[in-house]
Chain A
């Protein structure tokens, strides 16, 4: 216990011995963590958006009026057996007309009273389990258009495709930016600790002379690096807390459509993740610095 007390006290002193450098490195870590948090949250939002859109992905297969019921059933069975397909629903001409009339009732500019014959085809609505498979399934069905059963095919996977692309680009770009920030943060921490070691070189000399163990000499610096990390995490979390309210309210519309959960659970996970990451970066940077500058 006394060892821990000594180490923490020495680390605390070390942090404040050179406040400008310590605060600068703390802010660097905070900026890195803010970027990290931003990417985590953006990624989470995009994943949720992709999920929502994926759940709405449907192919609509319009059927020939004179297709034989057995052929239709056979087609339905074949589609249902595809692993990428979640469900297939048969919508008859009459059901389709009912739906259209329902929509028309809510939109007075459309008048359907004149309709005497039903121009709508029977159809199969195919719900897919995964957006990535849309192309393959629609391609397979498109080959059968005009061969007696399928009259036409409607698919609209482009929105999901675009979103998947954005997610991928953001992930890669985000990782690259984060990697650079991580490098900068490590560089600053390594230098902060190098300066701290330099500032205490007389003390270190005496410690070694009177027989302090290597770890007794090193731990205060490593803990100082961790302090830089934790303070950085606190600054980052405070900044997030400050902007969370306004940002959330400006996103209300978006959040209604996309069920991004930013509940207490997620916040706790994010905070724990940031602090853990910060401890790791601070500790690793300091350890590297101490190993380099305290060798001998």
Chain B
């Protein structure tokens, strides 16, 4: 069991109930789509996993570690097990593609040689070796998202969380990114993808978690976007 949530609820100080009584098990190597309307709790779930938020009640265990009770000083090491990709890429504009990817290794204190080698490996995986010296503004949306995926994977995390990874991309580029994510999964990384894209979910027929008003209303092995 890689991810285990038991009885997890999350209320924000303003009274919003973002998650209610979530029980969830995800095994290593799974491909999971998280669907639901905006405000259903997808982002809150993602934030609990990387401990950007703490649950109001319940337990979150990732790779055998109790995320709720872990010391603050241990949080960075949890995050090195989890890569995160966003709809808006969050690349640093004044760094090149290679520098953006290497940044994740440098600030987690890897030796220079490892930074070089792992950066090249990640760039090759997302097929951006040729673009390594370009700046984000010189890239297409798809290339920017591939850079972000390379950065998320360069630490060799066990889990990749993608929050609307194709939300800003055209249909062709969207498929390009999805194919890349499928390859990432084949290499052994567990994928959690939050999306509004019904076409992709219906085409891939992977596990689907449907959140509605903070509760899991549907959890299907080979699910579709809508029931």
Chief secondary structure at chain A's binding surface: helix
Binary contact readout A156-188 vs B (1 if CB under 8 angstroms, 0 otherwise): 000000000000000000000000000000000
B interface bracket (residues with beta carbon within 8 Å of A): 20 to 34
Give the residue of B50, B73, B77, B106 whose beta carbon is less than 8 angstroms from that of A209: B50
B contact residues around A208 at 8 Å (CB): 76, 79
CB of A3 within 8 A of chain B? yes
B contact residues around A217 at 8 Å (CB): 107
Knowing A2-B112, A212-B76, A213-B76, the reply to whether A207 touches B92 (Cβ < 8 A) is no
Nearest CB of B to A72, in Å: 81
Q: Would you call A211 and B77 a contact (CB within 8 A)?
A: yes
B contact residues around A210 at 8 Å (CB): 79-80, 83, 103-104, 107-108, 151-152, 155
Binary contact readout B92-106 vs A (1 if CB under 8 angstroms, 0 otherwise): 100000000001101
Knowing A206-B103, A210-B80, A211-B78, the reply to whether A216 touches B90 (Cβ < 8 A) is no
CB-based closest 5 A-B pairs: A211-B79, A211-B80, A212-B107, A210-B104, A211-B76
Known: A210-B83, A212-B107, A213-B109. 7 other contacts (CB 8 A): A3-B109, A210-B103, A210-B108, A211-B80, A213-B76, A216-B108, A216-B109
Nearest CB of B to A218, in Å: 12
Which B residues form the contact surface with A (CB < 8 A)?
Answer: 50, 72-73, 76-80, 83-84, 90, 92, 103-104, 106-109, 111-112, 151-152, 155
Nearest CB of B to A70, in Å: 84
CB of A203 within 8 A of chain B? yes
B contact residues around A212 at 8 Å (CB): 76, 107-108
Knowing A2-B112, A202-B90, the reply to whether A207 touches B73 (Cβ < 8 A) is no
A interface bracket (residues with beta carbon within 8 Å of B): 10 to 19
A contact residues around B76 at 8 Å (CB): 208, 211-214
Nearest CB of B to A3, in Å: 6
The distance in angstroms between the C-alpha atoms of A174 and B204, with both chains bound, is 76
Q: Would you call A211 and B108 a contact (CB within 8 A)?
A: yes
A contact residues around B73 at 8 Å (CB): 213-214
Knowing A202-B92, A210-B104, the reply to whether A2 touches B79 (Cβ < 8 A) is no
The distance in angstroms between the C-alpha atoms of A209 and B108, with both chains bound, is 11
- Pull 8 A–B residue pairs with CB atoms less than 8 Å apart, ordered by A: A2-B112, A206-B92, A206-B151, A207-B103, A210-B107, A211-B79, A212-B76, A214-B76
Knowing A2-B112, A202-B92, the reply to whether A209 touches B107 (Cβ < 8 A) is no
Nearest B residue to A207 via CB reads B107
